[in-house]
């Protein structure tokens, strides 16, 4: 073991288009010894594929991190601890590690759990922010997220009850990471009478991108990487 500990960077790679990665993200990946990329059943190697579109990683050591899709707190905690141990072993050797995160690492990401574990073990961490899926989706759809005094509410669509609780509140809504709950989320928006204010981007910035200016036009469309925007008011109001 060397006397110097490595630093763990949480690097946000944006929503899909490699051109939306920040200069800081690119420079961090170029300077780190090891690239840690998440792989899950739903996400595959998406974050790594995005990074490879912006940075040559041929000479980098790539370590894949397998995270569970379970919502059971105990199962999640064990998964986070197991993957954090892999990173800690690398950091102890003095190597700097860049852990890739889709979108922005601070929004519903695994990074926060890993960061806390690694910091508790005495290692330094740094977060590199990035473009969010909903800001990219709004740009692709050609709409504004908010205006004037309108608030913006960001909801985790993988938790339908949270969506039900806040959907009726004033303000624009962003529904992220609906995954397999997409059909149910659409039904909830329809029941709330908001379908004419809702738009959706699927695989925004990725191959197979689809944009729907009305949620009703989406039909039975499904996609793991989907972002729904519910506007505070119609565009012509």
What CATH number is associated with residue 211? 3.30.950.10
Query: Do 75 and 176 share a domain, yes or no?
Result: no
Domain final position from 83, 105, 128: 128
Query: Do 63 and 20 share a domain, yes or no?
Result: yes
Please give the tally of structural domains in the chain: 2
Angle at 194 between CA 190 and CA 199, to 5 degrees: 95
Distance CA 162, CA 175 (A): 10
In a domain, 236, yes or no: no
Helical axes 73-92 vs 111-120, angle rounded to 10°: 60
Query: Do 147 and 110 share a domain, yes or no?
Result: no
Residue 235 is predicted with a pLDDT of 55
Domain final position from 108, 128, 148: 128
Distance CA 186, CA 219 (A): 9
Residue 233 is predicted with a pLDDT of 65
**CA distances (Å), origin 76, targets 43, 83, 223:** 17, 11, 23
From first to last of the 237 residues of the chain, give the pLDDT tens digit: 457 899 999 999 999 999 999 999 999 999 999 999 998 665 578 999 999 999 999 999 999 999 887 888 899 999 999 999 999 999 999 999 999 999 999 999 899 999 999 999 999 999 999 999 999 999 999 999 998 888 999 999 988 899 999 998 999 999 998 877 888 999 999 999 998 899 999 999 998 899 999 888 877 766 668 899 998 766 555
pTM of the model: 0.91
Residue 193 in 3-state DSSP? Answer: coil
**CA distances (Å), origin 168, targets 23, 89, 154, 162, 178:** 38, 47, 13, 11, 18
Residue 22 is predicted with a pLDDT of 98
Residue 82 is predicted with a pLDDT of 96
Domain final position from 105, 128, 151: 128
Residue 1 is predicted with a pLDDT of 44
Residue 39 is predicted with a pLDDT of 85
Query: Do 13 and 110 share a domain, yes or no?
Result: yes
In a domain, 235, yes or no: no
Residue 189 is predicted with a pLDDT of 93
Query: Do 77 and 159 share a domain, yes or no?
Result: no
Residue 237 is predicted with a pLDDT of 53
Residue 177 is predicted with a pLDDT of 85
Q: Do the bridges between strand 8-12 and strand 61-66 make them parallel or antiparallel, or are there none, so unpaired? A: unpaired
Query: Can you give the residue range of the structural domain that contains 30?
Result: 8-128
- Tell me the residue length of the chain: 237
Pull the structure tokens for residue 130: 């990035």
In a domain, 237, yes or no: no
What CATH number is associated with residue 108? 3.40.1010.10
């Amino acid at each position: 073991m060397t006397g110097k500990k490595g630093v763990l960077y949480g690097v946000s790679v944006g929503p899909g288009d490699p051109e939306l990665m920040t200069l800081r993200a690119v420079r961090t990946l170029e300077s780190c010894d090891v690239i840690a990329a998440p792989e899950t059943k739903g996400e595959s190697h998406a974050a790594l594929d995005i990074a490879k579109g912006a940075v040559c990683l041929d000479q980098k050591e790539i370590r894949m991190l397998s995270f569970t899709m379970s919502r059971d707190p105990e199962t999640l905690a064990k998964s986070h601890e197991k993957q954090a141990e892999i990173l800690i072993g690398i950091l102890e050797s003095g190597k700097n590690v860049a852990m890739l995160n889709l979108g922005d690492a601070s929004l519903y990401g695994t990074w926060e759990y890993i960061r806390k574990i690694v910091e508790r073990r005495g290692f330094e961490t740094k977060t590199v922010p990035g473009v969010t899926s909903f800001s990219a989706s709004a740009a692709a759809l050609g709409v504004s997220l908010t205006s004037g005094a309108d608030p913006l509410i960001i909801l985790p669509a993988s938790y339908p009850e949270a969506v039900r609780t806040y959907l009726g509140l004033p303000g624009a809504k962003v529904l992220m990471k609906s995954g397999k709950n997409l059909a149910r989320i659409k039904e909830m928006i329809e029941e709330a009478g908001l379908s004419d204010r809702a738009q959706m981007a699927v695989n925004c910035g990725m191959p197979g991108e689809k944009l729907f200016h009305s949620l009703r036009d989406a039909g039975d469309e499904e996609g793991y990487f989907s972002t729904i925007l519910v506007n505070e008011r119609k565009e012509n109001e």
